[in-house]
Amino acid sequence: MVTSVDFTDGNSYKDILKSILPSVTDILPAKSPLVHCIRLLGIIRAISGLSVITEDQIKYLESCLPKYEKYCSQVTRLYSKNFNYPKHHSLVHLPEDLRAKGVTENYSTRPGEGFQQEVQQAYDQTNFRDIEPQVVRIDENQEVIARIRMYVDLHDKENQRRLQELDESDGGPQLTPTEG
């Protein structure tokens, strides 16, 4: 039921990757670039998910990446699949990251997820032409609105604190100020 999944996380994709290769080999021709692409992605995922990694494993990973890119470009030509997205591009940097930061359980790609959603929402508000200045303007406006909201909330909290202080010092509740 992979095609009808509504919500997935990293673990769901890992589970799908484990079971998809045997399934597609029964459906697609033996020399299909998609089969090779999935196989290499499974190898890359397995190596990158190790809790201890050696230099030899990183070198093997480096040897898999050009093959994976070759098959991805063939899949793009045959099936019109677009592999141009940030997480796919980050595979190119994976060996360097493993050498510099250690195994992937020491860091995560998830902290930036909220930012990607904000950018997508800003992008959806543009006219889809010359988007960078529009997205910057939208982001600046959202920052200004957030700052104003923060100051209003602080002001309200301080007023509430003062009213509570007056209540305690005068022995009874004070009337709240009315807006004019």
Q: Tens digits of per-residue pLDDT, 94-128? A: 999 899 888 887 776 566 666 777 888 898 999 98
Mean per-residue pLDDT over the chain, rounded: 85
Q: What are the pLDDT digits (tens) for 5-18? A: 666 666 777 788 88
Three-state SS sequence of the chain: CHHHCCCCCHHHHHHHHHHHHHHHHHHCCCCCHHHHHHHHHHHHHHHHCCCCCCHHHHHHHHHHHHHHHHHHHHHHHHHCCCCCCHHHHHHHHHHHHHHHHCCHHHCCCHHHHHHHHHHHHHHHCCCCCCHHHHHHHHHHHHHHHHHHHHHHHHHHHHHHHHHHHHHHHHCCCCCCCCCC
Q: Tell me, what's the pLDDT at 90?
A: 83
Does the global pTM surpass 0.75?
Answer: no
Confidence of residue 154 (pLDDT cuts 50, 70, 90): very high
Q: Where are the domains of the chain?
A: 2-107, 112-180
pLDDT for 156: 95
